[in-house]
Amino acid sequence: MLVYILRRVLLGLSVLLAAIVATFCIFFLGPSDPAGALCGRQCTPDRIVQIEKDLGLNKPKTEQFVTYTKGLVAGNDLGGKKCDAPCLGWSYVQNRPVTDMVKQAFPVTVSIVIGGIVVYSTLGILFGMIAARFRGKPLDRVIVGVSQFVTSIPYFVLAQLFFLYAMVYYGLIPRAKYTSILDNPFTWFTGLLGIWLFYGTVLSANYVRYVRASMIDVQNQDYIRTARSKGLGERKIAISHALRAGIAPFLTLLGLAVAAELGGAIFTERIFGLQGMGNLALTSFDTSDLPVIAGVVVVGAVIIVSLNLLVDLLYGLVDPRVKLS
Amino acid sequence: MSLGAGTEATMVADADERAPGPAPREGKSPTQIALERLRKDKVAIACLFVIGFFVLVAILAPVLVSIAGVDDQLHLDQVNPLTGLASFQSNADHPFGVKARTGEDLFYQWAYGARPSLVVGIAASALTMVVGVTMGLLAGFLGGVVDTVVSWIVDFLLSLPFLLMAIGIVPIALQRFGNPDSSGFIEEGRESTIRFIVLICVLVLFTWPTVARLIRGEVLSLREREFVQAARSLGMPTKRVVMRELLPNLTGPMIVNLTILIPAFIATEAGLSFLGVGLKDPTYSWGQTISQGVTFFDSYPIWMWIPTISVSLLVLALSLFGDAVSDAFNPQTRR
Amino acid sequence: MRWTTVVALATAGTLSLAACGGSGSSGTNSNNDAGASNTALGDAYEKVPASAGQRPDVKGPAPEIAGAKKGGTLTFNSDVTPESTDPSTQYYQDTAAIMKLTTRTLTAYRMEGGKSVLVPDMATDLGQKSKDGLQWKFTLKPNLKYDDGTPIKASDVAYSIKRSFATEELPGGPTFQIDYFKDGDKYKGPWKSGDTYSGVEADDAKGVITINLARKFETLSYFASFTMFGAIPKAKDTKTNYQLKWAATGPYKVQSYTKGSSLTLVKNTNWDAASDPARHQYPDTIQFNFGKDAATTAKAIMADNGIDQTSLTYDGVNAAVLQQALGAKRKQVASGPSNCVNWNGSTMDVNKIPLEVRKAVAAAWPIDQIHQAAGETPFDYSPGGTIGAPQVPGFTKFNLPEFPGKGQGDPAKAKAMLQAAGKLNFELSYYYSNDDEAAKNVNKVKVAQLTKAGFKVKAIGVSKTERRKKVRDPKAPVNLGQGVNTGWCYDWPQGDSIYPPLFNSTLPNNSGAGNIRDKALDKEMADIANLPVAEQGAKWTALDKKILQKYVPLVPNAYSKGSMIFGSKVHNVVIDPNQGIGDFPSIWVG
Amino acid sequence: MSALPATPVAESGRERILEVNDLQVQFPTADGLVNAVNGLTYSLDMGRTLAIVGESGSGKSVSSMAVMGLHDPRRTRISGSIVLDGTELVGASQETIRQLRSSTAAMIFQDPQSSFHPFKKIGDQIAEAYLVHHKVSKKVAMTRTVEMLDRVGIPNPDRRAKQYPHEFSGGMRQRAMIALGLINDPRLLIADEPTTALDVTVQAQILDLLNDLQREFGSAIVLITHDLAVVAEVADDVMVMYGGRAVEHGTAHEVLANPRHPYTWGLLGSVPKLSASGGNLRTIRGLPPSLINLPSGCSFHPRCDFSDRVPGGLCSKELPGLEVRAGDTTRRSRCHLADPAGIFDAEIASTLE
């Protein structure tokens, strides 16, 4: 198991490093004018030169990359602007370390995503199992039909309508609000609950059919037949034999889907007005604040890689066979 | 000891006896059998009609707009300058209404908007399949270093946040490949072409790894199967093994995947356009229209609802059809 | 130029954020139809008298607002996030309005029946000027305190001013102090050049701040209302992080601030109402939420449920609620003139376009269509045909027949003018943002109309960011829409903050309007600026007329308006005509 | 269809454990109704071993699974009668059937690789079966499990019980499967191809084991196989199935040495012989019948080389009954041929040597 974990961690690290290189290449080697953006309104050519010097933009790209990577590990001092590790660079527009901005946005996005994962995993597995159990019956048809329907409507339209009708016009669900879990776990929970329920429910529609197919597939497995031939009751078979096997592929899917969830969080943050990483990226996109976008992408990659790692480890717990591979 | 080579294959399949699979029939490939099943599936046929309808709309867009007598010009006189909205939702001149303020015809944008949805959906998923299947085959069949490298690339690409990357890549690609003239002028047509290509590339780039992973898994299990082993031990060239033995057996998962990808891409295109990094004028797309119209969903509902319903219907039809295809290939998961 | 959202609000639903702070848009009036049905709104503007200028004798406290209640929470939602809340660098309308709640300044505007007048705030008067006009003294009122109870010293104010010279560490603020103050170009702020600066001196014992000038600055009293003329305790200065937690001197102090997301203000118990003639302290808590989608915010406020009843937004009247705002929910809208005048991309390079052609452009300019295509509404503008804003004290509003400030333009007449000048098919070239829905629509209108008028049009679509650079590029190979191309928002209500920044010949190419190079004009502007403030208005009016007629550097399109929408339990929302945004300290809930 | 009490081996004195009468199993599918078992009748006494042989799709597994009640009742139509140890299973409640599983009738599945749950320890999986039917502690059940693992010849049973299926070799897994089958001392053991996946030496060991266990417990065994050598070694009786019906049913000696049905001939003919040096294997021509559209008359007639010897095209018109034919005493067969024994002796026997 230890070897397995080590291997996974190493793989994750190598992937992360590559993600950093790729991000750097895309965002810093591309044509852009960071100094011009940072220069502001009383801009003179001298000032641009000075800013470029401050930010090290006049140096060769390879050196810039080394500086960037070094900043991630050990921090940087950009022309008197102190940028502590992990330094993701300096925001041209906001005149702040990117790390500060990401630090602010990070817990918001992670809260949304994690809460969403809990809700949609629960609902997805629950409804998927129910549908599989009542395969071909009206209940199954209703569940599958509704999930088909929900997944077909663009998420952002649903979110807008939900926000306006459920939260604004009729006030059925309290307006979303983020408070740090460290400040007040209770308001953190109540503030995000509405979003989790909505986001999780909509997303679960994607997984209901998957879990259902997976459970049906499991039902057809030889070992379920064996369990039945032992004289085990159906409930016991469903919970102790089928569920465990049916969840394994779902876990894999979960790992794959984290990237997509981060995307979903962008729409969620935007529409529900939460200042997470997606909103941060969009704002920075609008002001061409490339270091911020790059920072968000790098941190996004970290989230994906670590959640993937977590899923892999969980998978290792569920399926004893992976320890060998 | 066995009953002899002639019955070997059927004996292997004996395990399926309990779960009644397709009854053996002479001279029919799994694809043909699946097609036959599809033909009998009423839902699948209905979905095909819906899909066909939108394909026709896309192809016949110029004809449709000329029948409706609408164009892509501004019609400032069509809207109330005070509220910016038209007084009608739909009339004979503008069956799907007009946009706020500018009075641009929405039927025109809807008809032409069908094109990018379908083209993106089909082109991107076809490309994704080609790349994904190729890489999956290479990794799964050749194994060794190739497998390690491809699997690593797959892991790497899947670790990048897709939407964030898309948001970043689009403007950069525009600047890099836009070839502006001395005054920074990028022709409108050129820009929308670039956006189109970038969008497809981004979709393909971040989706092929999923396909490759799946195909690799399939190939790994197929590789151990008797007929492939036999073909290899007989010294059949790799290319022939792949083309003759592997690919035909991958048809099922490939088609099923394709039917999942197309609606997913159509939905993604709409989402990206909503975020402002998808397609832009003069390439109309439903996602764009939705994102513009969603503000007015209560005061001018037709603006948002027509493209929303169109996208939803198309995606629904495509995914139901996909389910039907998947069922046809794999009756075990049949509803 | 105070920074504001001069560009029209992006069409709803798109996720683009306006780059600058502030409220609404800009504009002229629509066609006659609209004008007729819009009389009420249009006239509302006309009724606003010119701001009454300066009232040096006003003392605190501010007169109670009839019926105002204390208590409650007031919530602001905005799409836009403040760029910097550092008092030394802030230069945005919205941020200024927010910081008026927390930060007292030497002078301040206060609302008197819809008029905005300049009154002494922390200072006892509007400044005492020496005979040669090169030295100004401001005396602090006694017993002023920070929110932690420590006294405010004259040197704290001086320190705050000195910080504004540190443009490298704290970029983005106003720069008049660099231009006007003694050695302003040499002093680089307290970190680089040290604490001693001959331009700003303080005497803590007497509570006097002395400002030494390099040249006459008749409107310094107005400039002294900027937040850089507040007070910053040096011991608590955290340099670039001061913007995240700043010491309060006004009726409210910062309870928590998450940059880009939210700001919570609570009552400052150490604020002395008796000495403050410009502010009230009604709500217990004032909450700001930033980065909220404008359309949903607007819909929520109009729906008027729960917390939205005590919420408001300064994002303007979003198109999504326009119908309601014009009809049933009219009472939830406050709209009034702002400090901006709009010319919607009509700046013409006088060196590249011959005068006759410029006149033809003015004749053809499709003012109403542009407003409509940009999504500008009666809440965003009223007709206007001058460069200066009419509420500037002493300014007399006028309408030249060539510059009606409204209407659809006359392409046929323009074509005839071109023909007469032998300039048919003259090429007009300009940049527009092709990633902005409204800008693209406006461009379509322009191309159609100008082509009809016999011009050859080369419209160059670039990204918003790219365009920001291009329009200021001195060498840009285009002749239309360069420099200060959308319009101008004055920093204080006097001509010296309008005309010289636009037409001075010493300005770099494309950083003013029209690239006029005329020494005589420079002299004329300088002469007017050196007159006492009270005498300037009429002279600027005449100059405005002269510039329009002689140079035709731009086509005035509209006087901009500021608009706010608010829930039914929000009261006394009045737009400050000098800021284009509501006067936050006088709003109450209940 | 014969409605006679159908026991070819009338050996009284032994208790009858299983009696299957006119069993029909059908699966409705989108392609049509699959007739997997069509009127199967047989019975089995304690202490005896019945081998069921036939090609894929002949219904041998389906009929045995029906005895265990393992078909999904929602997607299967079963009619006829299955009496297991005195209990009628067709139409019985799931709970009744559940009680009988493993305790009265146990099944050993053909693919031990997939028949064990991959995520659970072998010992736990076997002990689970004991716990269902015995009110004992987990510890007791585990002791019993280890005992059974030892019994079926698994070395280090203590350690092995704590391992996962993937850590077992094929033969070991099969032994564990048998241990699972026998843990509740079932009166009837159904072994579905228990040796298919194993190499020959292991095969022999497993078969010996089954034989030993049968002797020890006196259970009845139904052995489903396609391996006629295995049949010859362990079976008392043999039933040959084709198209969901029994076509020949008799003692092992009768059926293997003197088969009376052309299909049995075909099966025997397709067994590779050690003596035949590189000679072609004989196979049965054609493909197994479609279970949706069974051929009219005798299901085997399209593939039968001898149907032209039956006059009047009777083979394609009328289904022959499963009857004791002239010259036989106990064995029953389903063929229109007037003198199958003659044909076998004259034409077939020589080819089988």
The domain ranges of chain D are 114-185, 259-352
Beta-strand pair C456-462/C427-433: parallel
- A21/chain C closest Cα distance in angstroms: 26
Q: Are residues A90 and A115 part of one domain?
A: no
Q: Is residue D1 scored above 50 in pLDDT?
A: no
The SS3 call for residue C243 is helix
pLDDT digits (tens, 9 = 90+) for C514-524: 999 999 999 99
Which chain C residues contact residue A104 at CB under 8 A?
258-261
Q: Are residues A144 and A46 part of one domain?
A: no
Of the ranges C135-139, C165-169, C210-214, C283-287, which one carries the lowest mean pLDDT score? C165-169
CA distance A201 to A151: 11
Task: Give ranges for CATH 3.40.190.10 in chain C.
Answer: 10-290+561-589
Q: Per the domain annotation, does A324 fall within a domain?
A: no
How high is the pLDDT of residue D166? 86
pLDDT digits (tens, 9 = 90+) for D266-296: 888 877 655 544 445 566 777 788 888 888 8
Q: Are residues A108 and A93 part of one domain?
A: no
- B33/chain C closest Cα distance in angstroms: 48
Task: Pick the more confident residue, B17 or C432.
Answer: C432
Q: Is C143 left (phi over 0), alpha (psi -120 to 50) or beta?
A: left
H/E segment holding residue D251: strand D245-251
> What is the count of structural domains for chain A?
2
Half-sphere exposure of C531 (CA within 13 A, CB side): 17
Show which subunits contact B, needing at least 3 CB pairs below 8 angstroms: A, C, D
Average pLDDT, chain A: 81
Q: Per the domain annotation, does A323 fall within a domain?
A: no
Which chain A residues contact residue C15 at CB under 8 A?
270, 282
Q: Which CATH architecture has domain C344-366+409-556?
A: Roll (3.10)
Contact between B1 and D272 using a beta-carbon 8 Å cutoff: yes
Task: Using CA coordinates, name the residue in chain A closest to B169.
Answer: A26
Average pLDDT, chain C: 86
Q: Per the domain annotation, does A188 fall within a domain?
A: yes
Q: Is residue A114 scored above 90 in pLDDT?
A: no
Task: Pick the more confident residue, B255 or C35.
Answer: B255
Which of the residues in chain B have pLDDT under 50? 1-26, 333-335
Question: Which one of A98, A123, A157 terminates a domain?
Answer: A98
Contact between B291 and C14 using a beta-carbon 8 Å cutoff: yes
How high is the pLDDT of residue C421? 93
Task: Pick the more confident residue, D15 or C408.
Answer: C408
Residue B105 contacts C where some CB pair is shorter than 8 Å: no
**Residue A304: which of B159, B274, B316 has the nearest Cβ?**
B159
Which chain C residues contact residue A279 at CB under 8 A?
291
Contact between B270 and A160 using a beta-carbon 8 Å cutoff: no
Task: Using CA coordinates, name the residue in chain D closest to B20.
Answer: D27
Give the count of Cβ contacts less than 8 A between chain A and B: 147
Residue type, C134: L
Contact between D287 and B26 using a beta-carbon 8 Å cutoff: yes
CA distance A183 to C189: 38
Tokens 């290899």: give the residue.
Answer: B232
Task: Give ranges for CATH 3.10.105.10 in chain C.
Answer: 344-366+409-556
| Backbone torsions φ then ψ of C67, nearest 5 degrees | 80, -5
Which chain A residues contact residue C84 at CB under 8 A?
94-95
Q: What is the pTM of this model?
A: 0.79
Q: For the residues C120-133, what does the mean pLDDT come to?
A: 94
Beta-strand pair C128-129/C135-139: antiparallel
- A127/chain B closest Cα distance in angstroms: 15
The domain that holds A212 is classified in CATH as 1.10.3720.10
Give the count of Cβ contacts less than 8 A between chain B and D: 83
Which chain D residues contact residue A245 at CB under 8 A?
117-119
How high is the pLDDT of residue A221? 83
Residue A323 contacts D where some CB pair is shorter than 8 Å: no
Chains D and C touch (3+ CB pairs under 8 A): no
Give residue C500's pLDDT band: very low, low, confident or very high (50, 70, 90): very high
- B221/chain C closest Cα distance in angstroms: 47
How high is the pLDDT of residue B327? 77
**Residue B334: which of D30, D36, D272 has the nearest Cβ?**
D30
How high is the pLDDT of residue A34? 62
Question: Which one of A76, A98, A120 terminates a domain?
Answer: A98
Q: Per the domain annotation, does A325 fall within a domain?
A: no
Q: Per the domain annotation, does A84 fall within a domain?
A: yes
Residue type, A8: R
Which CATH fold would you assign to the domain B29-329?
Answer: MetI-like fold (1.10.3720)
**Residue C13: which of B85, B101, B291 has the nearest Cβ?**
B291
Query: Most D CBs within 10 Å: which of A220, A229, A236, A317, as the mutation test of the D interface?
Result: A229
- Closest residue by Cα to residue C558 from C2, C10, C26: C26
pLDDT digits (tens, 9 = 90+) for A206-249: 888 888 888 888 888 888 889 988 888 888 888 888 888 887 77
Q: Is residue C34 scored above 70 in pLDDT?
A: no
Residue A248 contacts D where some CB pair is shorter than 8 Å: yes
- Of chain B residues 11-70, which have a CB less than 8 A from chain C? none
How high is the pLDDT of residue B221? 76
Q: Is D198 left (phi over 0), alpha (psi -120 to 50) or beta?
A: beta
Contact between A231 and D102 using a beta-carbon 8 Å cutoff: yes
How high is the pLDDT of residue D286? 78
Contact between A14 and B159 using a beta-carbon 8 Å cutoff: no
- A23/chain C closest Cα distance in angstroms: 21
Q: Which DSSP category does C76 fall into? A: E
Task: Using CA coordinates, name the residue in chain B closest to D229.
Answer: B1
Contact between A231 and D133 using a beta-carbon 8 Å cutoff: yes
Q: Is residue D316 scored above 80 in pLDDT?
A: yes
Contact between C139 and C217 under an 8 Å Cβ cutoff? The reply is no
Contact between A39 and A51 under an 8 Å Cβ cutoff? The reply is yes
Contact between D271 and B7 using a beta-carbon 8 Å cutoff: no
Residue C28: alpha-carbon gap to chain centroid: 17
CATH number of C10-290+561-589: 3.40.190.10
Q: Per the domain annotation, does A312 fall within a domain?
A: yes
Instruction: Name the H helices within C171-253.
Output: 176-180, 190-193, 220-223
- B125/chain D closest Cα distance in angstroms: 30
Tokens 């003015």: give the residue.
Answer: C362
Of the ranges B46-55, C178-187, D15-24, D298-307, which one carries the lowest mean pLDDT score? D298-307
CA distance C223 to C173: 13
How high is the pLDDT of residue C35? 32
Give residue C422's pLDDT band: very low, low, confident or very high (50, 70, 90): very high
Residue A101 contacts C where some CB pair is shorter than 8 Å: yes
Contact between B160 and A19 under an 8 Å Cβ cutoff? The reply is yes
- B287/chain A closest Cα distance in angstroms: 9
Q: Per the domain annotation, does A276 fall within a domain?
A: yes
Task: Pick the more confident residue, B140 or C273.
Answer: C273
Give residue C38's pLDDT band: very low, low, confident or very high (50, 70, 90): very low
Contact between B7 and D291 using a beta-carbon 8 Å cutoff: no
Contact between C341 and C487 under an 8 Å Cβ cutoff? The reply is yes
Contact between C172 and A80 using a beta-carbon 8 Å cutoff: no
Of the ranges A177-191, A206-220, A259-273, C11-25, which one carries the lowest mean pLDDT score? C11-25
CA distance C452 to B238: 68
CA distance D223 to C535: 117
Which chain B residues contact residue A146 at CB under 8 A?
none
For D161-181, give the DSSP string: TTS-GGGS-HHHHHHHHHHHH
pLDDT digits (tens, 9 = 90+) for D180-233: 988 888 889 998 888 776 777 777 887 888 888 788 878 899 999 878 888 888
How high is the pLDDT of residue C126? 94
Chains B and D touch (3+ CB pairs under 8 A): yes
Task: Pick the more confident residue, A21 or D2.
Answer: A21
How high is the pLDDT of residue A81? 66
Dihedral, CA of residue C484, residue C488, residue C491 and residue C492, to nearest 10: 140
CA distance C15 to B276: 7
How high is the pLDDT of residue C146? 96
Contact between D166 and A222 using a beta-carbon 8 Å cutoff: no
CA distance C203 to D26: 105
- Closest residue by Cα to residue C433 from C374, C367, C520: C374
Give residue C416's pLDDT band: very low, low, confident or very high (50, 70, 90): very high
Residue A239 contacts D where some CB pair is shorter than 8 Å: no
Q: Spell out where C366-448 has E strands.
A: 381-383, 427-433
How high is the pLDDT of residue B189? 67
How high is the pLDDT of residue D253? 87
Chains B and C touch (3+ CB pairs under 8 A): yes
Look up the domain containing A67 and give its range: 2-98
Give residue C11's pLDDT band: very low, low, confident or very high (50, 70, 90): very low
Which chain A residues contact residue B176 at CB under 8 A?
30-31
